[in-house]
């Protein structure tokens, strides 16, 4: 049986570029969130665990990556 419906891609190349950018931003946020290894496991360094980059910037980057992903999915392809 043949299907008379024309097949067209759901996402354009620009959508995939935006999706890749969102994944990269989220990955950077995850790496920043995971950092801060201590040399001595018996010593607790609050500055490394509760630092500005880890507590503030990393979650903002992860949320920004999610917003970029939503934008990439809902963006209509040109043409």
Token output for 27: 């990955």
Threshold 0.75, pTM exceeds: yes
- For the chain, the straight-line distance linking the first and the last C-alpha, in angstroms and rounded, comes to 30
- Predicted pLDDT at 43: 83
Q: What are the C-alpha distances in Å from 13 to residues 3, 5, 66, 71, 76?
A: 25, 22, 19, 14, 11
Contacts 24+ apart (CB under 8 A), 51-55: none
Indicate the domain borders of the chain. Answer: 13-36+43-74
Per-residue pLDDT of the chain (79 residues; tens, 9 = 90+): 555 667 777 888 999 999 999 999 999 999 999 876 778 888 888 887 888 989 999 999 999 999 999 999 999 877 6
């Amino acid at each position: 049986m043949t299907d008379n419906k024309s097949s067209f891609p759901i996402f354009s190349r620009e959508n995939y570029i935006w999706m890749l950018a969102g994944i990269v931003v989220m990955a950077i946020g995850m790496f920043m969130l995971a950092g801060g290894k201590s040399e001595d496991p018996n010593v607790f360094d609050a500055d490394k665990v509760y630092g500005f980059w880890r507590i503030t910037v990393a979650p903002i980057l992860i949320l920004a990556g999610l917003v970029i992903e939503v934008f990439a999915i809902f963006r209509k392809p040109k043409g």
